[in-house]
Amino acid sequence: MGSKYPVLPPSKVIKALEKLGFSYVSQKGSHMKYSDGKYTVIIPNHSEVAKGTLKSILAMAHIDLDDFLQML
């Protein structure tokens, strides 16, 4: 049984988060910090964001997977 979480490039994850109200805060190395004022998430700026990492990002941001996928 496959995971419902897609493997995406960081640019797509960031665009979807920005549509959901998150904005860039800072960067340290290859990890970028985004916040909506209430929640803060760290996004790795690697070639792709793995399924488990995306699941963790959405949990930190308190965003439902379906809401996130609609923003892609």
Q: How far apart are CA 29 and CA 27, in angstroms?
A: 6
Number of domains present in the structure of the chain: 1
Residue 1 lies in a domain: no
Q: Distance between CA 11 and CA 38 in Å, rounded?
A: 22
What percent of the chain has a predicted confidence (pLDDT) above 70? 97
pLDDT digits (tens, 9 = 90+) for 20-51: 999 999 999 999 999 999 999 999 999 999 99
Tell me what pLDDT residue 3 has. 80
Asked if the structure places residue 57 within a domain, the reply is: yes
pTM of the predicted protein model? 0.93
Question: Whole domain around residue 26: which residue ranges?
Answer: 10-70
CATH of the domain at 66: 3.30.920.30
- Other Cβ atoms less than 10 A from the Cβ of 3: the count is 11
Contact 53, 68 (CB under 8 A): no
Phi, psi of 36, deg, nearest 5: -110, 10
**Domain-located, residue 2:** no
pLDDT band at 2 (very low <50, low <70, confident <90, very high): low
Q: Where are the alpha helices (DSSP H) in 3-71?
A: 10-19, 51-61, 65-70
Task: Evaluate whether residue 59 is within a structural domain.
Answer: yes
